[in-house]
Amino acid sequence: MDEISIERQHLDHLLTDSTSTYQAPYQRTFAHLAETHRGRPLAEILPLLRRATDEALLGFTDADLREQAQAISTGEPYILRVTVA
Q: What is the DSSP string of 24-66?
A: --HHHHHHHHHHH-TT--HHHHHHHHHHHHHHTT----HHHHH
What residues make up the domain containing 21? 2-84
pLDDT score recorded for residue 59: 83
The domain tally of the chain equals: 1
pTM listed for this prediction? 0.86
pLDDT, averaged per 10 consecutive residues of the chain (85 residues), comes to 80 85 87 96 97 90 92 93 86
Cα 12 from Cα 16, distance rounded (Å): 6
Contact 56, 7 (CB under 8 A): no
